[in-house]
Chains A and B, each alone.
Chain A
Amino acid sequence: MLRILDYIKKNQSPFFRIGLLLTLVITCAVLISLFYMPYSPTAMDRASRSLGISLRHPMGTDNFGRDIFCRVLYGTRVTLLIALGTVAIGTTAGILIGALCGYFGGLLDEIVMRINDALFAFPSILLALVFVSLMGTGNLQLVLSLGIAFIPSFSRIVRGEFLRARSMDYVLNARLQGASHLRIMFVHILPNIRGVLLSSVMIGFNNAVLAEAGLSFLGIGTQPPFDSLGQMLSDARINIMSEPRYMLGPGIVLILLVLGFSLLGEGLRTKT
């Protein structure tokens, strides 16, 4: 904990600072919303349909009289959870595959990486689309599809790092001392490449947020009424001419969210 605080103090990059601030504010808002929300995000109210921006409703209400601010808070929670799950699956599998291929090399590396390259040929959102159509809709399926679609990019980054580290002195040294392969891979190499890993996780997180928003925008994401930010944006399109306000809240939060993580990733990369 102290080391993290220390790191934050030392990192002077303005990117990092702004990114951290944005991310913290949004995360705190979402954490608070777990315990308290002024309105339920699904409660409809005929009397307060399509209200403008006011103190009671900081982002107004939608055509069902639901408070958009609360819906955005809830949507951010959904979006963050999906992104988190996606990155968890993507990094875990990516690190395992990348480490094995990078460290051992040889035929295994050739085969796995060629498959990887083939998957790379498709944009990850297209891959996710294929998985969703195979597995059906739902939040769990969404996380699985996106997670699987993210494995190739992670494993490629990790493989590159392991390939580089493999011939470094500290690794050779460890090997001479008789350390097992697994120990070398995960105790010696992995901590040494954490900088690269961390920033690519940030970027991956970002891409996951955008990919989820994209899928939801295409109508195969979250199920109503528990909409993610992307789903909210998609639903707001029907009113784009008469009530552009519906797009405003989810759109701005989505931008800030992505911007925050993006800057954070950038800051981490420049420092380490």
Chain B
Amino acid sequence: MRAGRRLAAVCIMCLILTAALGACTGGRNGGDTSQQASSAQGASSTADSGESASDAGQTDAAQTRDDITIGIPQDIDSLDPHAARAAGSREVLFNLYEGLVKPSSDGELLPAIASAWTISDDATVYTFTLREGVLFHDGSAVTAEDVVYSIERCADPEQPDTFQSALEAIESVSVTENGEVEIVLGAPDSEFLAQLTCAIIPAGNATPAQTPVGTGPYKYVSHAPQQNLVIEKFDDYWDPDHAAHIRNVTFKIEADVNTVVMELKAGTIDMFCRLTTDMYTQLADDFTIYEGTMNLVVAMYLNNAHAPFNDARVRQALCYALDKEEIFDFIFDGSGTPLGSSMYPSFGKYFDASLNDTYTTDIDRAKELLAEAGYENGFTFTLTIPSNYDQYVDMSEVIREQMARIGVTVNIQLIEWNSWLSDVYGGREYEATIVGVDASTMTAAAMLSRFRSDASNNFVNFNSAAYDTAFANAKAAVDDDEKTAYYKECLTILSEEAANVYIMDMPNYVALNPAFTGYVYYPLYLMDVAALRPVN
């Protein structure tokens, strides 16, 4: 016992001593520490550079390298493509499953299992011609029955609302006599095509979570919960132009983001997609860095049903207290895309930059609003944060300070991701949380349907009759301009009612081992592993 304690003490001592010596060079120059420290890092990590030199030596041999390990910040919540709720799950499942159509990196919809389609003029009848020779991972060919089964399964009200609410509008799915699939909608919906990215699985496969079989460029090999997910190149993929280049892919779950930099440097993972600014600056020398945006609406989501957030004035007060620039400066070295409503700029026409100015930091106005609502002495609320997202934890600390300026006390509570999904997102048992919400498809509806009063995934309990009407009008509109106008009205309502304290879309840095290349950004929260290839 005693020897063990001493050993532990000695170990910690050694660790700290190393850190201390490393810091000595960095500490001397007071002003320009970050520069200093990074050069000190270069000097002190000779062992490292030796290793990367040998890495470089291996690059010739690595031309044939056909395995890659990709770090992901959370485990897959389900391998069932129709049941997976988390954006982090969908970005991985994107490689295993395909729908009738699939999103491209420029936001368009490409034919996938369907080779062509026709849409009736009133946007109620969608007819799809299936591609010849598309195989499932188990070797069987995709038939019209599989498509009908998958769409009906996905539209089942039991499923979570990723595609479900949109697919519920389907009146009938049937196979026509010449083998085409015909989908008839109860009401016109010109955006419906985007929902058909919903995954096609073999008919009769009632438990895809246990037997994940799709048509994607990769097939499932194994899944060790909280550890990793292994997938392998599917040799019979229908599209030779987009077939996978790398044979074996392992997604390693990094529940502790703090170790990602060390893992990347040590070579235990080759790629990580959601680097913070801090992490990126430490990796810029040794990795290929891709810059983009996260494509998330990051906000302090408020439980609108919970007092005092059921009072719009309180929510607005929090918005006035927020200082986005300060968050950018503290956490993202000044970069970041401010958001004023539930839409991010990659969406193009729906994004309305003027909504960013609905609230500008104004402490006096915030206090006034609080006083009007009867909280002149402030109040206390609990901010629940998923602990695996370092940026959200950092944001919570900054926001805690900002809210203190208007007399509102914030207690931060970190919880594990799975508890967040079940208690906060699923159970709606929370007061406020910071998280990024993504769109499952490239439609405004995917982003906005969740704020309907009765939406099953309305985890903020937003309740506004005006919003419901505007959303219904947008859905019903066939003319694109009219539709866009109604969606913008929805966004304005969210902003003015202060449904949530909207913050930003985050800058996103992807670090990729220089032995590989080809990472592509999508305007959705997706990771296209098939596009990655070894450097020639």
Q: Do A and B bind each other?
A: yes
Residues of A within 8 A of B (CB): 42-44, 46, 49-54, 60, 63-65, 137-138, 203, 206-207, 210, 219, 223-225, 234-235, 237-245, 247-248, 251-252, 254-255, 258-259, 262
With A and B bound together, what is the CA distance between A240 and B411 in angstroms? 28
Residues of A within 8 A of B331 (CB): 63
Judge if B397 is at the interface, Cβ distance under 8 Å.
yes
Task: Please tell me which one of the listed residues A51, A207, A254 contacts residue B5 in the complex, with CB atoms under 8 A apart.
Answer: A207
Asked if A242 and B34 sit within 8 Å, CB to CB, the answer is: yes
Asked if A60 and B412 sit within 8 Å, CB to CB, the answer is: no
Closest to B26 in A: A245
Known: A50-B34, A52-B29, A224-B396. A255 touches B9 (CB 8 A): yes
Residues of A within 8 A of B278 (CB): 63, 238-239, 242
Asked if A255 and B13 sit within 8 Å, CB to CB, the answer is: yes
Closest to B323 in A: A46
Asked if A243 and B330 sit within 8 Å, CB to CB, the answer is: no
Residues of A within 8 A of B348 (CB): none
Q: Kindly list 9 other residue pairs between chains A and B, CB separation below 8 angstroms, not including A247-B19, A252-B20.
A: A44-B397, A52-B33, A64-B394, A65-B330, A203-B5, A219-B256, A240-B19, A244-B26, A245-B27
Q: Per-position contact with A for B18-53: 1 when CB-CB < 8 Å, else 0?
A: 011011001111110110111001000100000000
Known: A235-B258, A241-B282. A51 touches B33 (CB 8 A): yes
Asked if B276 and A245 sit within 8 Å, CB to CB, the answer is: no
Judge if B265 is at the interface, Cβ distance under 8 Å.
yes
Residues of B within 8 A of A254 (CB): 12
Known: A242-B38, A255-B12, A262-B9. A44 touches B281 (CB 8 A): no
Asked if A242 and B414 sit within 8 Å, CB to CB, the answer is: no
Asked if B279 and A238 sit within 8 Å, CB to CB, the answer is: yes
Instruction: Place the interface of chain B in its size category.
Output: 35 or more
Task: Please tell me which one of the listed residues B330, B401, B413 contacts residue A43 in the complex, with CB atoms under 8 A apart.
Answer: B401
Asked if A234 and B281 sit within 8 Å, CB to CB, the answer is: no
With A and B bound together, what is the CA distance between A237 and B390 in angstroms? 12
Asked if B401 and A42 sit within 8 Å, CB to CB, the answer is: yes
Asked if B12 and A251 sit within 8 Å, CB to CB, the answer is: yes
Known: A46-B326, A225-B400. A237 touches B258 (CB 8 A): yes
Task: Please tell me which one of the listed residues A44, A225, A234, A238 contacts residue B261 in the complex, with CB atoms under 8 A apart.
Answer: A238
Task: Please tell me which one of the listed residues A137, A244, A248, A255 contacts residue B413 in the complex, with CB atoms under 8 A apart.
Answer: A137
Residues of B within 8 A of A46 (CB): 326, 329-330
Judge if B123 is at the interface, Cβ distance under 8 Å.
no
Task: Please tell me which one of the listed residues B259, B281, B326, B393 contacts residue A237 in the complex, with CB atoms under 8 A apart.
Answer: B259
Task: Please tell me which one of the listed residues A203, A234, A241, A247 contacts residue B265 in the complex, with CB atoms under 8 A apart.
Answer: A241
B439-490 contacts to A (CB < 8 Å): none
**Shortest Cβ distance from residue A35 to the other chain B in the assembled complex, whole angstroms:** 21
Asked if B390 and A238 sit within 8 Å, CB to CB, the answer is: yes
**Shortest Cβ distance from residue B322 to the other chain A in the assembled complex, whole angstroms:** 14
With A and B bound together, what is the CA distance between A138 and B414 in angstroms? 9
With A and B bound together, what is the CA distance between A65 and B5 in angstroms? 35
Task: Please tell me which one of the listed residues B26, B45, B281, B412 contacts residue A225 in the complex, with CB atoms under 8 A apart.
Answer: B412
Asked if B27 and A238 sit within 8 Å, CB to CB, the answer is: no
Judge if B141 is at the interface, Cβ distance under 8 Å.
no
With A and B bound together, what is the CA distance between A46 and B326 in angstroms? 8
With A and B bound together, what is the CA distance between A218 and B315 in angstroms? 34
Residues of B within 8 A of A241 (CB): 38, 41, 45, 261, 265, 282
With A and B bound together, what is the CA distance between A36 and B43 in angstroms? 40
Asked if B414 and A223 sit within 8 Å, CB to CB, the answer is: yes
With A and B bound together, what is the CA distance between A255 and B14 in angstroms? 11
Task: Please tell me which one of the listed residues A50, A137, A206, A224 contacts residue B33 in the complex, with CB atoms under 8 A apart.
Answer: A50
**Shortest Cβ distance from residue A150 to the other chain B in the assembled complex, whole angstroms:** 13
Asked if A240 and B261 sit within 8 Å, CB to CB, the answer is: yes
**Shortest Cβ distance from residue B469 to the other chain A in the assembled complex, whole angstroms:** 41
With A and B bound together, what is the CA distance between A242 and B34 in angstroms? 7
B238-268 contacts to A (CB < 8 Å): 256-259, 261-262, 265
Closest 9 CB pairs of A and B: A251-B16, A237-B258, A241-B282, A52-B30, A244-B19, A245-B23, A238-B258, A244-B23, A244-B22
Task: Please tell me which one of the listed residues A49, A60, A237, A247 contacts residue B16 in the complex, with CB atoms under 8 A apart.
Answer: A247
Sample 24 A-B pairs with CB under 8 A, ordered by A number: A42-B400, A44-B397, A51-B30, A52-B29, A64-B398, A137-B414, A206-B5, A210-B8, A223-B414, A234-B258, A238-B276, A239-B278, A240-B262, A241-B45, A241-B261, A242-B38, A242-B281, A242-B282, A244-B37, A245-B23, A245-B37, A251-B15, A255-B12, A262-B9
Closest to B279 in A: A238
Judge if B361 is at the interface, Cβ distance under 8 Å.
no
**Shortest Cβ distance from residue A36 to the other chain B in the assembled complex, whole angstroms:** 21
Known: A44-B330, A46-B329, A247-B16. A258 touches B261 (CB 8 A): no
With A and B bound together, what is the CA distance between A258 and B6 in angstroms? 10
**Shortest Cβ distance from residue B19 to the other chain A in the assembled complex, whole angstroms:** 4
With A and B bound together, what is the CA distance between A219 and B15 in angstroms? 19
With A and B bound together, what is the CA distance between A223 and B19 in angstroms? 25
With A and B bound together, what is the CA distance between A261 and B136 in angstroms? 64
**Shortest Cβ distance from residue A109 to the other chain B in the assembled complex, whole angstroms:** 22
**Shortest Cβ distance from residue B250 to the other chain A in the assembled complex, whole angstroms:** 23
Residues of A within 8 A of B326 (CB): 46
Asked if A251 and B19 sit within 8 Å, CB to CB, the answer is: yes
**Shortest Cβ distance from residue B397 to the other chain A in the assembled complex, whole angstroms:** 5
Residues of A within 8 A of B159 (CB): none
Residues of A within 8 A of B37 (CB): 242-245
Closest to A252 in B: B16
With A and B bound together, what is the CA distance between A53 and B270 in angstroms? 35
Residues of B within 8 A of A243 (CB): 26, 33-34, 37
Residues of B within 8 A of A203 (CB): 1-2, 5
With A and B bound together, what is the CA distance between A216 and B26 in angstroms? 27
Residues of B within 8 A of A219 (CB): 256, 387, 414
With A and B bound together, what is the CA distance between A65 and B397 in angstroms? 12
With A and B bound together, what is the CA distance between A241 and B281 in angstroms? 10
Judge if B305 is at the interface, Cβ distance under 8 Å.
no
Residues of A within 8 A of B28 (CB): 52
Judge if B415 is at the interface, Cβ distance under 8 Å.
yes
Known: A42-B401, A243-B37, A248-B23. A224 touches B414 (CB 8 A): yes
Task: Please tell me which one of the listed residues A60, A64, A65, A240 contacts residue B27 in the complex, with CB atoms under 8 A apart.
Answer: A60
Asked if B41 and A242 sit within 8 Å, CB to CB, the answer is: yes
**Shortest Cβ distance from residue B483 to the other chain A in the assembled complex, whole angstroms:** 42
**Shortest Cβ distance from residue B409 to the other chain A in the assembled complex, whole angstroms:** 12
B272-296 contacts to A (CB < 8 Å): 276, 278-279, 281-282
Asked if B27 and A52 sit within 8 Å, CB to CB, the answer is: yes
Residues of A within 8 A of B34 (CB): 50, 242-243
Residues of B within 8 A of A42 (CB): 397, 400-401
Q: Per-position contact with A for B110-123: 1 when CB-CB < 8 Å, else 0?
A: 00000000000000
Known: A42-B400, A52-B27. A224 touches B412 (CB 8 A): yes
Known: A46-B326, A203-B5, A225-B400. A137 touches B415 (CB 8 A): yes
**Shortest Cβ distance from residue A224 to the other chain B in the assembled complex, whole angstroms:** 5
Residues of B within 8 A of A259 (CB): 9
With A and B bound together, what is the CA distance between A224 and B411 in angstroms? 9
With A and B bound together, what is the CA distance between A219 and B330 in angstroms? 22
